A and B are shown apart, each in its own frame.
Chain A
Amino acid sequence: MTLLAGQILNGIATGMLYALMGLGLALIAGILNIPNFAHGALFAVGAYLTVSAINAVGNFWIALVVAPLGVAVLGLVIEYAGIRRLYAAGHDYQLLFTFGLSLILAETIILIWGPVGISQLPPPILRGGIDLGFTFYPKYRLFVMVAAGLLVTATWLFLEKTRYGAIMRAGIENKEMVSLLGIDIHRMFTVAFALGAWLAGIAGALTAPIRGLSPGMGVDMLGIAFVVVALGGMGNVLGAIAAGLLIGVAQAVVAAYWTEASVAVIYLVMAAVLVVRPQGLFGIR
């Protein structure tokens, strides 16, 4: 019984991380309506920039602020130079473009940082674990759970409670209407893509001490992000949280009883939900 409780806690923690990973993609898919296959690569860049920043400055917290900003800037450049021209191009070209980007980014990571994996320890203050009674749990994972929760909440607040957020939500629902109302829809797209990139970057930064870094780390994350978006609905923050938690806990519970299936279970859940409810758990349509 305590094993199950421990697994569920772990499922919630990984679930929050999955939600954070998927949130940026959910926003980009919802607002820009493009399949961003470069999202995993942006995540990887965030992680690698964090490691370099830590090595340069010696401080995890500074790196945690700086690295995601770097990824956001990269997002701005990508949107300006490429994505901007593709809004009318159709999903196939958007996919080809973003996939090409992901290859470029992944190979550039290898060129700069080499193909060998890297470990990054959590900051000293967050090393070790806490005895929670039913399980011994790493401090850093608890921190990530809380941090992811705060970030997701902040994004939700931004979308729900600020004027610009309301405009973005309107943009998810109906782009034509928003631009007819005189709002610069292209500026909004740029902000949305940069925001999505920033979320991917900070997810990478937070994940680095947990999963370690390797040039292919973006590919695994992309699959998870897709599942979160498909389940939670495009542009839906609460949906992303629910979806992340669902697959995190499902994975943890399955690992307790049928370990061999713990990777497949994520896709099984996704397929099962989508067959019954094509718009995901909370999607509109």
Chain B
Amino acid sequence: MSWRTVAVIAAMVALPLLVRPALAAEIWIFAIFGLGCNLLLGYTGLLSFGQSTFFGSAAYAAGWLLKHYGVNVFVALAAGTGVGALSALAVGYLCVQRSGIYFIMLTFALNQLFYFVAYQWTSVTGGEDGMPGIPRPAMLGIDFSSPIAYYVFVSLLFLVSFWVMKRVVESPLGKILQAIRENETRAEAVGYDVARFKLLAFVVAGAFSGLAGVLYAMLFGIVPLEAIGFVFSGNVVFATLIGGSGSLYGPIIGSVVFIWLSESVSTVWARWPLLLGVAFVIVVLFFRGGVVEAWSRFLAWRFSRQRT
């Protein structure tokens, strides 16, 4: 087990001691969401600005099942992951033929479409009020109503997701996706059906987003409309970029930084989005690899200093 994995587990243990368990759970949920986003962004080179489509759809679907059919946790998770993957299949199918700014705009537009459907379909989604009253059923005799119990559940699921994503990116599929990111034309020329692989990446990312969505719904007991809105889509992209899209750890760091910081700073200054904007600008101009790259640069500098 590498020291990095140890660090992640240490973080999982330490986090609920530093912040409320519910906030810590939210951080890991967002990290799962980020893993999905990063498969597209960091590994395939696809900037999808509509990830909340899958997150939100899964949250609504699972929420509906939990609330009206009293399904158990397994069914809810499976349903959410499935809905996330399916919606990603639909959206991806429409989007993978395009590239560049058109791709970004199309993912954004489809996200808006899903948003407005959710907005209007008040009988199902509750529209602007959201879908409240989502239960958190017990599983295998374990009662999840305590924040700590749910936190343990979420963080374990994160570990599983992380392991799965690690396997995905280290597999031949992962290599092909990275090849597509590096040079799409060449990948096509070598014989890979680029569009199909991009679609596959979408579906996997959608599944992860869907899982995150279900956990989110159960965490708050409500699916708010913003869960399928463009702000959520933007947040996961930004958090991933800030953490560093070049590795699997980027989404973790990005999630911790983004959620923890925005929570703390917002209680101090109402105009905290200004600081967030400044942070984005600074990251882009000076720390383009995100925290992960800044850290390796820092280590390299330290190492070179020790040598002299």
| Contact A95 to B271, CB < 8 A, known contacts A33-B100, A100-B277, A230-B105 | no
Tell me, rounded to whole Å, the shortest Cβ–Cβ distance linking A222 to chain B: 10
Q: Determine if B104 is an interface residue (Cβ-Cβ < 8 Å).
A: yes
Contact A279 B284 (CB under 8 A): no
Is the Cβ of A92 less than 8 Å from the Cβ of B245?
A: yes
A93-B241, A230-B106 as given contacts; A107 in contact with B113, CB under 8 Å = no
Is the Cβ of B284 less than 8 Å from the Cβ of A93?
yes
Instruction: Pick the contact of B278: A96, A104, A223 (CB < 8 A).
Output: A104
Please measure, in the bound complex, the distance between the C-alpha atom of A94 and the C-alpha atom of B249, giving whole angstroms. Answer: 22
Binds B, one of A50-58, A59-67, A159-167, A264-272: A264-272
Contact B47 A103 (CB under 8 A): no
* Alpha-carbon gap, A29 to B105, bound state (A): 11
How many A residues touch B, CB cutoff 8 Å? 45
Q: Does A49 contact B (CB under 8 A)?
A: no
User: In angstroms, how far is the closest chain A Cβ from the Cβ of B240?
Assistant: 9
Interface segment, one of A81-89, A147-155, A205-213: A81-89
Given A93-B284, A95-B237, A97-B284, does the pair A107, B47 have CB atoms closer than 8 Å?
A: no
Question: Mask for B80-114, Cβ within 8 A of A = 1, else 0?
Answer: 00000000000000100110111011101110110
Tell whether, in the assembled complex, residue B285 and residue A267 are in contact, meaning their CB atoms are under 8 Å apart: no
Distance between Cα atoms of A270 and B110 in the complex (Å): 9
Given contacts A91-B100, A95-B49, A103-B274, contact A264 B288 (CB under 8 A): no
Residues in A with CB closer than 8 Å to B276 are 100, 103
CA distance A90 to B276 in the complex (A): 21
A267 near B116: Cβ-Cβ < 8 Å: yes
How far does the alpha carbon of A283 sit from the alpha carbon of B101 in the complex, in Å? 12
- Partner among B105, B120, B284 whose Cβ is within 8 Å of the Cβ of A100: B284
Q: Are B109 and A99 in contact (CB under 8 A)?
A: no
In terms of DSSP, what is the predominant structure of the interface of chain A? helix
User: Contact partner of A91 among B104, B234, B280, CB < 8 A?
Assistant: B104
Q: Name A1-60 residues within 8 Å CB distance of B.
A: 29, 33-35
Assess whether B280 is in contact with A100, with CB atoms less than 8 Å apart.
Answer: yes
Q: How far is the CB of B288 from chain A (nearest CB, A)?
A: 6
Asked if B169 is at the interface (CB within 8 A of a chain A CB), the reply is: no
B277 with A33: CB separation less than 8 A: no
A111 near B271 with CB under 8 A, answer yes
Distance in Å from the Cβ of B243 to the closest Cβ of chain A? Answer: 12
Does B9 count as interface, using CB distance less than 8 angstroms?
no
Residues of A near B15 (CB, < 8 A) are none
In the assembled complex, the Cα of A226 lies from the Cα of B113 at a distance in Å of 14
Q: Mark A200-231, 1 if CB is under 8 A from B, else 0.
A: 00000000000000000000000100110110
Please state if B284 and A86 are interface contacts (CB–CB under 8 Å). Answer: yes
Look across to chain B and name the residue whose beta carbon is closest to the beta carbon of A85. B285
Given A103-B273, A230-B106, A274-B109, the answer on whether A89 and B288 have CB atoms closer than 8 Å is yes
Q: Which of B106, B113, B271 contacts A110 (CB 8 A)?
A: B271
A263-B102 contact, Cβ under 8 Å, with A97-B280, A107-B274, A108-B274: no
A102 within 8 A of B: yes
B238 within 8 A of A: yes
Kindly identify, within residues 180 to 203 of chain A, every residue whose CB is under 8 Å from any CB belonging to chain B. Answer: none
Instruction: Decide if A76 is an interface residue (CB 8 Å cutoff).
Output: no
Q: Which residues of B contact A97 (CB under 8 A)?
A: 280-281, 284-285
**Those of A97-139 within 8 Å (CB) of chain B:** 97, 99-104, 106-108, 110-111
> Top 5 nearest A-B pairs by Cβ distance?
A100-B280, A103-B277, A264-B116, A107-B274, A104-B277
| Chain A contacts to B: CB under 8 angstroms | 29, 33-35, 82, 85-86, 89, 91-93, 95-97, 99-104, 106-108, 110-111, 223, 226-227, 229-230, 234, 260-261, 263-264, 267-268, 270-271, 274-275, 278-279, 283, 285
Residues on B lying within 8 angstroms of A by beta carbon are: 41, 47, 49, 94, 97-98, 100-102, 104-106, 108-110, 112-113, 116-117, 119-120, 234, 237-238, 241, 245, 271, 273-274, 276-281, 283-285, 288
- 24 A-B contact pairs sorted by A residue (CB < 8 Å): A29-B101, A91-B47, A92-B245, A93-B241, A95-B237, A96-B241, A96-B283, A99-B238, A100-B284, A102-B277, A104-B277, A107-B273, A111-B274, A226-B105, A227-B109, A230-B102, A230-B109, A261-B120, A264-B117, A267-B112, A274-B105, A278-B98, A278-B106, A283-B102
Q: A92-B47, A92-B241 are in contact. List 5 more A-B contacts (CB 8 A).
A: A91-B104, A96-B280, A96-B283, A226-B108, A279-B102
